[in-house]
């Protein structure tokens, strides 16, 4: 276990009018270890999505630094940052965000395609990882022919297929019923967790907290709890 | 990523059809209207172009086109023949007359009197009958479009007697001629006959058709004829263009067609622009997800370019094909007789379509490139 992500004094402000802006994150300091499943919890509007977006390199912070395995990602040029994401980060979105025109296997292989891998090879590797996620029989289907839980598995496959060192999930179970939500979380713990990989999951779902190695709570843009257990209020 | 771009496009049938329809429709509108425009204008030149044996036309100094002219005294023919470099010169008489058909209808016609001996001035091809039949007494040829105007389909045209300004005329042949801009019925006859048919004024020679000899270019001959005879001379090519420009300058046609072409462009841009923008907007989440995963703006740009290129190419192909089919299927209709699509039109339409697609693609793309990938998390 080592430090995978170091977040230093992250401040994020969003402009609301020309002169005014609101501060959503107030100087977050955080280190996230590899080999752990870290949960990020907090009330709606507390800044969870904002924080993991900044960690994942898809939202510029107003102040502060994010260092991922030794790289200060916001010192990179735009193109370098995009390529850094492609090589190092796996995303799982709440809304799955699969490409509706691609089959499950092709969707799973999108990061490979972005890296220039040929279609057939991508499909083969997509099938392999979908097999590991127990939906090999759904490979040829389009997203709209899949259930929510199945789509989320395809999204997980897509997040892991290129073996990124960081996996970021924003409420991966929010659109699922309790049963499938639990199964997806179990699966994530099973397949995403690796000794040299940091996994951050944003969630509201208190039924799955027992799967976490570490729980961080933020309130109004400040960290208010950090530990193995849930904060007392829960 | 190219195949993914295409799959995104074809995966959305309704929008794809909308896009193709937009491009095809504006391509069709632009190319078809331009073709009609060009061909209509060209009809101001066909009467000159049809007389392929003459390379210089000589006329009264005030004459402007083959339809707008002042007659010359018949001595002009001899004066032209006296100019050095003239291989041969033949007279042409053009005049308006009224015919009475056997059924008693009156119709305004254009009489064209051609040289008795050489028949220079007659259209090259006959639809029916033989050129030599013009030598027979009172013989006239009618142009094919005119024959359909004057006679019903089952009526016998050849052999029909007409009363031409109270003179007897017999139709002995049908000439295969491209309709002229005025689209009047044309009756061809020998020059000597034409003198009888045309109402009698002293000067009745309309044009002298000249062939230059091998030692002189038409341009040299034009200069020589003008300086030696005081008449106006034009090369056949210039004179054909005069007729064309006369129409452009004196009718509303260019403006009207210009408006249609501009409308075609605007409608095309509107349809294509809207559907393409909507298509991109709808896919913004997908592009955002791709960006978040690690697809560079350059790759996204080329994906949209591939989509635009596909839509442009297929839509353009459909549009040009339908336009071409329109003219092929309607070639039997007199209004479109002889219409063809000069190669410049598909090219120009392609350029216009390209601009249209690039413009809308570029605008649609801006919103994609501007999206912060974090948008897809929200
Ligand atoms: N692009 C933006 N422009 C303006 N304000 C924003 C923007 N993104 C987020 N905010 C604001 O920042 C605050 C934190 O938003 P964020 O999405 O990070 O919350 P969250 O903890 O993920 O909430 P939820 O649990 O509802 O997803 C909110 O008050 C939100 O309105
Ligand atoms: Mg959120």
Interface test with A, best of B11, B279, B293, B296 (most A CBs within 10 A): B293
Do B34 and B353 form a contact (C-beta atoms < 8 A)?
no
Q: What is the pLDDT at residue B372?
A: 77
CA A148/CA A180 separation, integer angstroms: 9
User: Distance (Å) from the C-alpha of residue A194 to the closest C-alpha of chain B?
Assistant: 20
The tens digit of pLDDT for each residue in A124-151 reads 999 999 998 888 899 999 999 999 889 9
- pLDDT-based confidence at A100, cuts 50/70/90? very high
- The reply to whether A19 falls in a domain is yes
Q: Return the ligand number nearest the Cα of A21.
A: 1
Domain residues for the domain of A157 are: 3-227
* Under-50 pLDDT residues of chain B: none
B372 at interface of A, judged by CB pairs closer than 8 A = yes
Q: What is the pLDDT at residue A61?
A: 95
* Residue A98 pLDDT > 90: yes
On the 0-12 / 13-18 / 19+ scale of CB atoms within 10 A, A213 is middle
The two tokens of residue B120 are 């220079």
Q: Where are the beta strands (DSSP E) in B101-239?
A: 106-114, 125-128, 139-143, 161-164, 167-176, 185-190, 207-212, 232-235
| Closest partner CB to B294 (pick from A82, A94, A95) | A82
Q: What is the pLDDT at residue B256?
A: 84
Do B222 and B59 form a contact (C-beta atoms < 8 A)?
no
Going from the Cα of A47 to the center of ligand 1, the distance in angstroms, rounded, reads: 6
CA A158/CA A152 separation, integer angstroms: 10
Number of independent structural domains in chain A: 1
Q: What is the pLDDT at residue B214?
A: 87
Do A172 and A163 form a contact (C-beta atoms < 8 A)?
no
Going from the Cα of A234 to the center of ligand 2, the distance in angstroms, rounded, reads: 19
CA-proximal residue: ligand 1, atom 26 (nearest): A44
Do A61 and A47 form a contact (C-beta atoms < 8 A)?
no
Q: Rounded to a whole number, what is the distance in angstroms from the first to the last CA of chain B?
A: 25
Helix (H) or strand (E) holding A182: helix A178-191
Q: What is the pLDDT at residue B357?
A: 82
Q: What is the pLDDT at residue A234?
A: 61
The tens digit of pLDDT for each residue in A43-92 reads 999 999 999 999 999 999 999 999 999 999 999 998 999 999 999 999 88
Going from the Cα of B353 to the center of ligand 2, the distance in angstroms, rounded, reads: 43
- pLDDT-based confidence at A34, cuts 50/70/90? very high
- pLDDT-based confidence at A233, cuts 50/70/90? low
- Interface residues from chain A to B (CB-CB < 8 Å): 49, 52-53, 56, 58-59, 78-79, 82-87, 89, 91, 93-95, 97, 99-102, 106, 110-111, 113-114, 119, 158, 170
* Residue A154 pLDDT > 90: yes
Q: What is the pLDDT at residue A83?
A: 94
Q: For chain B, which residues make up each domain, given as ranges?
A: 2-44+252-377, 73-230
Contact B294 A78 (CB under 8 A): no
User: Distance (Å) from the C-alpha of residue A209 to the closest C-alpha of chain B?
Assistant: 22
CATH code (residue A161): 3.40.50.300
Main-chain dihedrals φ then ψ at residue B238, nearest 5 degrees? -60, -40
On the 0-12 / 13-18 / 19+ scale of CB atoms within 10 A, A67 is middle
Do B257 and B36 form a contact (C-beta atoms < 8 A)?
yes
* Residue A208 pLDDT > 90: no
* Residue A105 pLDDT > 90: yes
Q: Return the ligand number nearest the Cα of A219.
A: 1
Mean pLDDT, residues A175-193: 81
Q: Minimal Cα distance from B374: which residue of A? A: A58
């Amino acid at each position: 276990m080592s430090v995978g992500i170091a977040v230093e004094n992250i401040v994020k402000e969003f402009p609301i009018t020309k002169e005014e802006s609101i501060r959503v994150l107030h100087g977050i300091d955080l280190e996230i270890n590899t080999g752990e499943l870290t949960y990020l919890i907090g009330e709606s509007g507390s800044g969870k999505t904002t924080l993991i977006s900044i960690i994942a390199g898809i939202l510029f912070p107003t102040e502060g630094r994010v260092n991922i395995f030794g790289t200060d990602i916001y010192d990179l040029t735009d193109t370098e940052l995009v390529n850094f994401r492609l090589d190092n980060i796996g995303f799982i979105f709440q809304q799955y965000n699969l490409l509706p025109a691609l089959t499950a296997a092709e969707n799973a292989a999108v990061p490979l395609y972005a890296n220039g891998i040929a279609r057939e090879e991508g499909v083969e590797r997509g099938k392999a990882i979908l097999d590991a996620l127990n939906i090999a029989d759904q490979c040829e289907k389009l997203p709209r022919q899949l259930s929510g839980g199945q789509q989320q598995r395809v999204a997980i496959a897509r997040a892991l297929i290129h073996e990124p060192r960081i996996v970021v999930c924003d409420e991966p179970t929010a659109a699922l019923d309790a049963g499938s939500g639990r199964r997806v979380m179990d699966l994530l713990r099973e397949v995403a967790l690796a000794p040299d990989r940091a996994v951050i999951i944003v969630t509201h779902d208190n039924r799955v907290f027992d799967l976490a190695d570490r729980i961080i709570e933020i309130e109004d843009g400040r960290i208010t709890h950090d530990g193995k257990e849930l904060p007392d209020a829960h | 990523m190219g195949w993914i771009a295409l799959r995104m496009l074809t995966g959305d049938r309704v929008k794809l059809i909308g896009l193709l329809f937009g491009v095809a429709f504006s391509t069709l509108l632009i190319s078809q209207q331009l073709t009609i425009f060009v061909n209509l204008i060209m009809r101001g030149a066909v009467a000159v172009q049809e007389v392929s044996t003459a390379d210089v036309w000589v006329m009264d100094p005030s004459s402007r086109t083959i339809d707008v002219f002042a007659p010359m005294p018949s001595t002009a023919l001899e004066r032209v023949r006296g100019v050095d470099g003239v291989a041969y010169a033949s007279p042409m008489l053009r005049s308006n007359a009224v015919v009475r058909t056997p059924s008693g209808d009156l119709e305004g016609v254009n009489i064209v009197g051609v040289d008795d001996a050489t028949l220079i001035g007659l259209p090259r091809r006959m639809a029916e009958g033989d050129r030599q039949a013009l030598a027979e007494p009172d013989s006239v040829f009618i142009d094919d479009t005119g024959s359909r105007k004057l006679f019903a389909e089952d009526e016998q045209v050849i052999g029909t007697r007409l009363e031409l300004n109270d003179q007897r005329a017999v139709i002995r042949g049908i000439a295969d001629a491209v309709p002229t801009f005025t689209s009047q019925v044309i009756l061809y006859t020998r020059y000597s006959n034409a003198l009888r048919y045309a109402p009698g004024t002293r000067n009745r020679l309309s044009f002298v058709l000249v062939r230059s000899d091998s030692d002189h270019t038409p341009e040299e001959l034009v200069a020589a004829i003008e300086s030696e005879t005081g008449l106006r001379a034009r090369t056949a090519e210039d004179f054909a263009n005069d007729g064309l420009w006369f129409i452009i300058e004196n009718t509303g046609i260019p403006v009207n067609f210009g408006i249609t072409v501009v409308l075609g462009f605007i409608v095309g841009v509107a349809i294509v622009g809207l559907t393409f923008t909507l298509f991109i907007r709808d896919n913004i989440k997908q592009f955002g997800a791709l960006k978040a995963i690690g697809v560079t703006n350059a790759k996204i740009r080329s994906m949209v370019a591939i989509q635009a290129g596909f839509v442009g190419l297929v839509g353009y192909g459909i549009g040009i094909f339908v336009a071409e089919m329109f003219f092929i299927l309607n070639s039997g209709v007199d209004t479109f007789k002889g219409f063809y699509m000069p190669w410049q039109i598909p090219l120009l339409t392609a350029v216009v379509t390209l601009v249209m697609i690039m413009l809308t693609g570029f605008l649609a793309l801006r919103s994609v490139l501007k999206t912060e990938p974090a948008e897809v998390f929200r």
